[in-house]
Amino acid sequence: MARLYRRNIKQVRNKSDAFRINGRIRAKDVMLIGPDGKNRGSVPVAEALAIAREADLDLVEVSPNAKPPVCRVLDYGKFLYERSKKEKEARKSQKQVEIKEIRLRPKTTVHHRSFKVRDARRWLGSGKKVRVRIRFRGREITLPDVAREDMAEIYEELSDVAHMESPPSMEGRTMLMVLAPGADKNS
């Protein structure tokens, strides 16, 4: 039987992820899944532990909330390793979406804005989201209409390659809009 004399450091850190094994199982009866993967039905914990010892494996409580709790006879170290590999693979397969940002002010000229829009078009073409940020300084905060017009013009220029994920909104002294790749469905 694989005994755990020293606790795995990760197991101690993640108390919620830790499984009860062998003598730590508190239930009187458990639903036992044998080393071959077949369901052996409801058996007393002592009998399940004897079956695990006989197979030189561990009794692991995999579903503690079930009535009765579900326990499997398996190699606990191998089980943790395979589980961590699956989690790592799942994290790897998640798509990371990068958000690029163009920063403007209400008084940014049309010429300067065209360079920013060109960059945004390139980023959207490569599948990245673009956040358009117009920052108000000092008395510029009294010009939200100018900023909304700028946002509308930027969106109009990019509507063939992007759709609006979040419309222009004020957050403190900043107006934000997020554009995602893919043409607007309403056009």
Reported as a single tens digit per residue, the pLDDT across 54-92 is 888 888 888 888 888 888 888 888 888 988 898 888 888
CA contacts within 13 A on the Cβ side of 152: 6
**pLDDT per residue as tens, the chain (187 positions):** 555 545 554 554 454 457 788 877 888 888 888 888 888 888 888 888 888 888 888 888 888 888 888 888 888 888 889 888 988 888 887 777 788 999 999 888 889 999 999 999 999 988 889 999 999 998 888 888 888 999 999 999 998 988 888 899 998 899 999 999 987 666 5
Residue ending a domain, among 75, 91, 107, is 91
pTM (predicted TM-score):
0.51
Nearest to 186 by CA among 168, 167, 166, 159: 159
For residues 108 and 161, the answer to whether their CB atoms sit within 8 Å is no
For residues 68 and 53, the answer to whether their CB atoms sit within 8 Å is no
Same structural domain, 62 and 110: no
* Boundaries of domain holding 173: 99-181
Number of domains comprising the chain: 2
Asked whether residue 127 is domain-assigned, the answer is: yes
Q: What residues does 134 pair with on adjacent strands?
A: 104, 175
Same structural domain, 47 and 104: no
CATH number at residue 105: 3.30.110.10
Same structural domain, 121 and 152: yes
The residues, any chain, with a CB within 8 Å of residue 187's CB and separated by 6 or more, are: 159, 160
Question: What single DSSP character describes residue 67?
Answer: S
Asked whether residue 176 is domain-assigned, the answer is: yes
CATH number at residue 23: 3.10.20.80
Asked whether residue 1 is domain-assigned, the answer is: no
Give the tokens for residue 3: 């005994």
Sheet strands (E) in 19-97: 29-33, 39-44, 58-63, 70-74
For residues 61 and 71, the answer to whether their CB atoms sit within 8 Å is yes
The residues, any chain, with a CB within 8 Å of residue 16's CB and separated by 6 or more, are: none
Residue ending a domain, among 46, 74, 91, is 91
Asked whether residue 169 is domain-assigned, the answer is: yes
Give the tokens for residue 187: 């056009």
Query: Vertex 129, ends 125 and 135: CA angle to 5°?
Result: 120
Secondary structure class of 114 (helix, strand, coil): helix
